[in-house]
Structure 1
Amino acid sequence: MDFKHVYTSTKTYIILLIVALALLLFTASTAYKQIMRMQESADMVAQTLKVYNAIGSLTEHYSQADSDEFRETLLEDAYLSHTLKNFKEEGRLVLDSLKILTQDNHLQQARLQPMEALLNKMNNQLHVLDTLNIENEDAFFKAKEAQKLEINKTIGNIRLLKNQVLQNEKYLMQERQADYDSHKFLAPLTSLILAFLALFICVLTFIRIYKNKLRIRQSEAFLKNILATTDNIINYFEPVFNSDEEVIDFKVVYANDCNRDYLGLDPDAIIGEMVSEVFPFFYVDGKFDELLQVYNEQTKIDFERKVFIDEKNMWFSCFATPLTEGVLLTARNTTLEKEADAAQAIFKKRLENQNLELLDSRAFLGNIFKSISHIVMHFKSIRDAENNIVDFEILFVNERINPVTGDLPEDVKNKKVSEVYPAIFEMGVFTHLKEAIETNKPMFYEVPYNGNDYAQWFSATAIKLGDGVTVTLRDITEEKKKSDELKQVNETLVIQNSILSDAESLAKIGSFIWDMDSDSSELSDNFYAMLGCEANEFKSSLVRYKDFIHPDDVELYEKRGAEIVSELKASEHTYRVITKQGEVKHFKTNGQFVIKNDKKVMIGVVQDVTESIEAEERLVKSNLRLKQSNAELESFNRVASHDLQEPLRKIQLFISRIEDREGDHFSEKGRFYFEKVVSGVKRMESLIKNLLAYSRIDSSKSNFEKIDLNEIFEKVEDDLATRIQDANAEIVVDKLPQVKAVVFQMEQLFTNLISNALKYRSLTDAPKLEIRYKKVKSSKLPGHVLKVKKRYHKISFIDNGIGFDAEHAEKIFEVFQRLHQKTEYSGNGIGLAICKKIVENHNGFIRAKGEPGVGATFIIYLPF
């Protein structure tokens, strides 16, 4: 706890002052209570004394009855009963006074009740003595003595009861005397202590307040020094009221020396003057209303003010805040800041224009990178302590890297080359890159890549850019195959224009910038070449370019142009043009709007897609032929299902009847021929069933579902359990994944591959089949395979059977293709063809590897 803060706080002493006042009030109330208690104790003592007096009167009363003189008086006053009557009245008054005095004491009240009965009894006995009238003197004397004895007995009881009452009053007298003595001592002592405590707190508070006053004076002096040395104008205004108590102006109460420095006003001269006269600019544009708002609403307001002084504009940032009965105004000179802001705005505008040009180039370059077929990468140098290049950091890779290596640009960005492509150190590529940076000369080289199970060749260009190198790779695999003599090096990527020019030429694209306001266009050289013209042969515009549009597409071209102008939104579309030489081409165009030189212009690219369109037309024709073939295949299915199987069933029926009736009469040669017929019929039946199974594999995705290949394997293993046991085969299987597939097709696939391993098993070794699984990237698949996913399931069926020659790896998947005679191994050559069709139906790929006498491996790739 911060005791120093508590000690120095003014609030602490205000609280102590309040406590002192409370103590004074408490002292007064306590003293009053003590006096009242002492008065009550005195009253109680006085009451006890009255009880004493009453008891004394009672004692005196019954003592009078006990005296012989009183009794004789009663006997002598036998005819005058007023003495006894007075005695009774006196006893009654004494008893009543005792009852009144002891009415708050229940014990005494209980004792006075029998006292009253005894007094009445004594009075009655006195009355009997008073009325005693016996003529015989002896009898009178005996009667009188007997009556006196009764009276004495009653008086004894009264005296005993009186002593009890007196004893109780003595006890009460001692308690009340002690209580009175304690109150008589504590009352003045308590009042004195509380009074001294309150006086001490008052003195301590007064000292603290006095010290705070001295400190305030020091703070005022310190504040004046600050106001005298600050760079801000600080003024204090108090309001001036009219007769209706409305603020009509403000009066300057305080002004520091900065008024002289910035405004040329003497602070002493303007104090007491009106603000409207000294600072007239406050009454322009409603600023006086803002000062009124500060005063009336007691809110803070900041604003800026422009002042023209000595033929020079000055800017002040003002802050008005309510203070006591006026407004405190602080003004900071922001002229230099305003001038700096103006200069910065000019610089910012220039920078924005440069950024727009950079965005134009970047957007244009982005479109080019998406259109070209080259791989473009940029690496930043990583140097050691001796400034030697030891590695590179990948800063940019275009999307063309994915079909080659399977990598995504965002996955490899900002990684080290040694981590992603470690082979560049072994092939000497790192040396080329390093030399391009150190010599500042372009490096041209060729590099092989074997990542897709076949060799690819790339022609590379490495050009220094900053402390890095830009590498452009072009696939020259086909060129290598056609002629080793053809070698080509990418043109130098020194500046962006050369990159764009080369990219446009290679990708058959042209670029344009269209200014809609002036309907003028800037076309690239390759755009002119695509139209069959020389560079800048004509001045391009939307109207002029329409001359090249095919007549059948002019209406669509004008409609798209109108939509672009009205909606300012470009979309990709394709149309035909007629070149200068009369050649019809298909152009595909796309673009986007950017701001250039404060104008909205459209930048875009145009690509010659004639070959693609023609390829699509060829594809349509191929699809028509395929549909026709499918129709013929469906017709074949119907024939195979009914027309071919019907006579086959009849042949089987008659064979069965011949065997039943004539089987025992066949000759040995007849039996041999008959078994040949039976075998041929069975092979024909198996062939038809397999052909139907092959043709009925549907490529639709409607019945695809998530299945567990482990369950598929267990079912197939159970179905083939007899064959596996008969062959004494061992099957080792990894944990298989879940895939989205058709259940019965996966069962057919596993059944065919396992059956194939059992059929073509080794004649010397016990058959063994291993089913291995792992996840692989799409780059691990051969390059000619269409990759639909980034990752694939790789399932390998590896057996130790008879194997096959590698040259037959593709042939074995064709329908009716067999590598052995039917007498050696059963089958009709459709099983593996069915496997291939099932895998392709699931967007996968299957291939086979084998070695005679060692075994065969069938590898299946299924997408995630």
Structure 2
Amino acid sequence: MNKNTYKIGLIIAIVVLVSIAYSSYRTFKAYDNDSSWVVHTARVKATVESLSVHPRDISNNIRNSAINRTPIDSSLVLSKSSQMKKELGLLDSLVIDNAKQTSNMVEMRRLIEQYANFSDSLVKLMSTNGGGFDYNLLRMIANEQTMLDSILNQADVLKHEENRLLDARTQERTQSRTLTPITILLLTLVALAVITFLFIITFNLSDKNTQANKELKSKVNELNEEIEERSYLQELLTNILNSSLNGIMAFESIRNDEGKIIDFQFEVVNEGAANITGVSKEKLINTTLLKEFPGNKESGLFDAYVQVVETGENYHTTNHYEYEDLNTWFDIVAVKNGDGFVVTFTDITQQKNHEQELLLNQQELESTNHNLEQFAYIASHDLQEPLRKIRTFGDRLRGRLSDKLDERGNDYLNRMQNAAERMQTLIDDLLKFSRVSSADREFAAVDLNAILNAVKIDLDYQISKNNTIIESQELPTISGDAIQLNQLFQNLISNAIKYSKPDISPKIEISVESSEECLMEGMPKTDCWKIHFKDNGIGFDPQYKDQIFIIFKRLHGRTEYTGTGIGLALCEKVVTNHGGLLYAESELGKGSIFTIILPKEEL
């Protein structure tokens, strides 16, 4: 038996002993619980019996007074009424766990309160008559007897239910009393077996101590070797840091009593950092960031470093530092390290001075961007084949092995397929965007009404499914690319449907106006068309009106709304290709208006 076997045996033994203790506790608890319920049932019966005595005593008092023509004992009636109310409250608390008895008690309370009110009236009448005897008094006494019988009958109902419970609970207690000695005997035997097993395991473990000590010595030797190796690596790391031309510093946070970061202590400084800052390593190690470089506070770098430590998000910036006799451009990268951070910085002053030269190469950069657009199209196109194979073989795996995989395996397979599907959608959108970006077609006359009708047909299922209403004015014929304009209309309409309110049918109103104010919109000085797409959807915060046209920018998570964040960027690109402008106006929860401005051209 190896050490793991001993551990498993010990765990099993402990579990068995705990189970024995728990079973013994449950056995005694069950017996005690059954006994408590028997006592509880007997108490309920006694209380019901006591409760039924008081109205009888009141009734006897009334009848004796009527028969003997003597004054009625009103104090007795008041005393019995008070006792009835107390015992009603006691009964309510005793049967609160029994829905049937609770319902019976509602009826009993109604009868008792009715009887108490009636008997009170009867006592007052008898006291007024002074022992007199008339027909009205006889009728009330007869009614009093009927009410008393109803109370006694209801008491019998309560007692009958309690007798049934008493029989059942007595039987359960008898069974518990019979099984308890047997259970204790069996558990005792099992406990003895477990103790014997534990003794054997303990005895066997003692024989393993010598071997364990030898192994421990071997581990100690290995640990010493590891310490030596780490010392070597520490020295190597120090040499690497000092050989870097970049400045590298490590800091530990200094916090106040409230836990807020108020400064950073230098922990590590390489030679590059000392050379760039002009401050020796020895001086920096014994001070803090704000003491030696207070300009970090005013420049905003300190607050950025605090965010790195508190959030764990990396920070990268270019900063012109003009403090502590420094006038230097730095490229700065900061990453979290424990309760501090490590910052790497490079003097890029010389690069910044060359920026003017870089501006002269703008034309070359634009050409490069064009080539990149072509490359994005080609790369996206070439990605489809391996992605198609991933999806195909994923489907084959699902068809042949889904019943052999466990739940986690099927989950991994589904995630792979979903990721591949999202990647396919992203590639398709990238291809569309690349086609639009690289399109160099000759424009022709395009009837926008025909474009709208074609889009309605393409989106027929989506429109019907969401009960979408599309209302449009007569649209103009313009000079343009029909394929790109179809994509523009389709994206705007599908977006309006996608971001509709869940309880309201989407409504899209398309209007057009001729305008001579294009110059004010940043357009060339010419007449233009303004085409408005207005919807009743969820809208968006106006502060994001420019960001929504950035490629891959999404205002919602992928779990809320599907999509890649390319659609509106593509729309803007199409409008730009046509020499126009696209902008949006919206308020959260009040729908959106997308306006397309296109120049009028002679056809």
Quickly name the TM-score band, shorter chain normalised.
Answer: 0.3 to 0.5
TM-score by length of 2: 0.39
Q: Bigger radius of gyration, 1 or 2? A: 1
Structure scoring higher RCO (CA < 8 A, sep ≥ 6) equals 2
User: When you count strand as a share of all residues, which structure comes out higher?
Assistant: 1
